[in-house]
A = this chain, B = another copy of it.
Amino acid sequence: MLITSVSNDKIKELVKLKDKKYRDLNDLFFIEGKDLCDEAYKNGLLREIYILDGYDNIYDGIPVCYVSDEVMKKISDMASFSPYYGVCSKMTSHEMGNRVIVLDDIQDPGNLGTIIRSAVAFGFDTIVLGLECVDLYNPKVIRSTKGMIFNVNIMTEHLTSFLKDVDDYVIYGTDVKDGVDIKSENIPTKVIFIIGNEGRGISNEVREFCQKYIYIGMRPECESLNAGVSASIIMYEVFNK
């Protein structure tokens, strides 16, 4: 099937996935670019694929629509669109692993995407998002993960209820100056690191669950680091200890 009209009903439905409301309603999200579509396909999450007319279909067994330039431009979220656009099922989360990052309401999509990418790079198996975090399926989040979103266990939780029920894990808060230097800390096997919101840091309610604090050694001239950078340096240190 080749779709050439932007007012085609299927295309109208598809464009709605740019809104969180529709993504939630249908348990679907979209991805752009061959690399992301490849990763979704490998992980069995690709449900439909839209391909620019003239490009090859490389996804066996997935329903495909070919679309014109004009239609791809309409459905794409980017200025320079890719020839591959996929619709995916939302991921399901599984049991929490040993190395966990909790995000106490990260707001910036680029930061969330970067943290997911770094978690895969540095062997963190689970990311827990607070209820006020930016939407995991926001297109900018997906893009910033560079396909790594499919390679890590992601849970969304009411953080204080979640932390109350956690057993056997050492829970670390991150702070600019308080606590122990991450370089000199012996990290236990089962560990949770909490990263605070870009503006306010870790909320007071969540702070109550922190058993220890760690900091990243830096010059006092700089008050703090970008949240994506802080999370990445902590995971890097734990992986490379």
A-side residues, CB < 8 A to B, are 108, 110, 114, 117-118, 120-123, 144, 146, 148, 151, 183, 216-219, 221-226, 228-229, 232-233, 236, 239-240
Contacts and interface: CB of A to CB of B under 8 A. Distances in A.
Contacts of A226: 114, 117-118, 144, 228, 232
How many copies of this kind of chain does the complex include?
A: 2
Given A117-B229, A226-B228, 12 more contacts: A110-B110, A117-B222, A121-B218, A144-B226, A146-B224, A151-B221, A151-B222, A217-B239, A217-B240, A228-B228, A233-B233, A233-B236
Contacts of A151: 221-222
Nearest to A236: B233
Point out which of A108, A121, A123 has the most chain B C-beta atoms below 10 A from its C-beta: A121
A229 B120 contact: no
A224 B120 CA distance: 10
A185 B135 CA distance: 40
